[in-house]
Amino acid sequence: MRYAEVLLNAAEAAVELAMAGETSPDGMDLMQVASEAVNAIRERAGATLLAGNLSPDVEGRNTIRKERRKELALEHKTKWDLRRWRVQHYDGRDGFWGETRNKDMFSSSSRYRFRGLYPFFSTQAGKYFFDARFQWVSLKTFEYNAIDYYFEIPTEEVSKSAVIDQQPNR
């Protein structure tokens, strides 16, 4: 785990707590904590710092989410962010990065396609280039429903207890 991820976790927690109306146990301003964490990451990267403090609303939360997406790109964290935020199923896909996009362009109901970067080698130029495209083959669509946010309880644990039942549809 990198220090940048720790800062992003602190910023995300501060915004979520402030949105829920909670205060910091040590009396610190949660929005100042979140803004300082984002600015520390941006300063290290040489990016433009935030003009002021983040706000305790959806816009502030989306700023943190976009910052996670940029800072932790290609580190295999996105899947777990989407699960934690509960935005991977069809109904939650509108605007979860702070941008409104047509979700039907990428999916139909609960099934969706992945866009990938595909490397190609140009013999004329003698170098590789990347092409971004969707998998149009119907066999390469994936489905994600709200129940998929939860893991199945191990069968041996369910069989040991008279009071634990398996989750529905598992």
Burial class of residue 167, CB neighbours in 10 A (0-12, 13-18, 19+): exposed
- What is the pLDDT, as a whole number, of residue 43? 96
Residue type at 1?
M
pTM of the model: 0.71
- pLDDT, tens digit (0-9, with 9 covering 90-100), for 20-68: 999 988 989 999 999 999 999 999 999 999 999 999 999 999 899 999 9
- pLDDT, tens digit (0-9, with 9 covering 90-100), for 119-135: 888 899 999 888 877 66
- What is the pLDDT, as a whole number, of residue 74? 83
